[in-house]
């Protein structure tokens, strides 16, 4: 259950600990970094492109036209037609400890899976996951391991339970909300508009994580790449704030 929450304008007044870099998503620089398996290129702030479109290892899965910088925002548009590329953008910079928060409005299109998450190896931290058919909820999920021992039916990712966060006055498809995760050596805290919705003290991150936004078709929302949606699904990201703690 998601308790009554303040507006994002009220939540943004709380300043997390750390050195702030604020990314106006309508103006961030986009471009590829060199890629080799099991090697991470050095990111240089002010020199390297801040984000890249698509996954390093499977660039053709993403439609470059799905990412547009419009007015004061960035739009990730998943096309309704079958067998089109997904909408995926990820940071070239990484964060180990600190706070990451973004102002986001989610699509109202059944079958579209939207996510804002951090990943650099386990754990995978899903600050939000959303199926377009969900009216008043999102999922906040922490994947802390894998279980492939039950062959031929592996359980797959180990994750937290009771991940849905719901409130009948929570309207993530119609309004912007501030989604946030705080990383430290001792705990991971997830928040929506400044309200704690999950705190974990096990399965913590100790590595460098990239920030990912995506809108895709997948089994989580009962679709495949061959599915046809009712409309294009558009996630709007206004800004991203990254507070790094050395």
Percent of the chain with pLDDT over 90: 79
Q: Considering the chain, what is the average pLDDT of its residues?
A: 92
Give yes or no for residue 35 having a pLDDT over 80: no
**Span 8-228+238-244: which CATH code?**
2.60.120.200
CA distance 241 to 103: 9
Domain definitions of the chain by residue range: 8-228+238-244
Residues 181-216 pLDDT 10s: 999 999 999 999 999 999 999 889 889 999 999 999
Residue with tokens 């547009």: 68
pLDDT for 2: 76
pLDDT for 145: 72
pLDDT for 78: 98
CA distance 38 to 222: 32
146 pLDDT tier (thresholds 50, 70, 90): low
């Amino acid at each position: 259950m998601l308790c009554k929450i303040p507006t994002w304008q009220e939540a943004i007044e709380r300043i997390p600990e750390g050195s702030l870099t604020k990314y106006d998503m309508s103006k961030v620089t986009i471009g590829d970094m060199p890629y080799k398996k099991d090697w991470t290129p050095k990111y240089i702030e002010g020199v390297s492109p801040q984000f890249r479109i698509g996954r390093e290892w499977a660039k053709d899965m993403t439609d470059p036209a799905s990412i547009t910088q419009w007015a004061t925002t960035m739009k990730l548009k998943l096309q309704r037609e079958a067998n089109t590329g997904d909408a995926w953008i990820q940071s070239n910079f990484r964060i180990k400890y600190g706070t990451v928060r973004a102002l986001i409005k989610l699509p109202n299109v059944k079958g579209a899976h939207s996510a804002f998450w951090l990943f650099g190896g386990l754990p995978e931290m899903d600050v939000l996951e959303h199926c377009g058919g969900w009216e008043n909820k999102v999922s906040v999920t922490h994947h802390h391991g894998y279980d492939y021992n039950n062959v031929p039916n592996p359980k797959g990712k180990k994750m937290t339970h009771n991940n849905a966060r719901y409130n009948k006055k929570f309207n993530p498809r119609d309004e912007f909300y501030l989604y946030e995760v705080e990383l430290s050596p001792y705990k991971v805290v997830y928040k929506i508009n400044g309200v704690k919705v999950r705190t974990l003290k096990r399965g913590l991150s100790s590595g460098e994580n990239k920030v990912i936004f995506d809108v895709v078709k997948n089994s989580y929302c009962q679709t495949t790449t061959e599915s046809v949606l009712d409309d294009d699904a558009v996630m709007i990201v206004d800004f991203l704030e990254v507070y790094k703690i050395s």
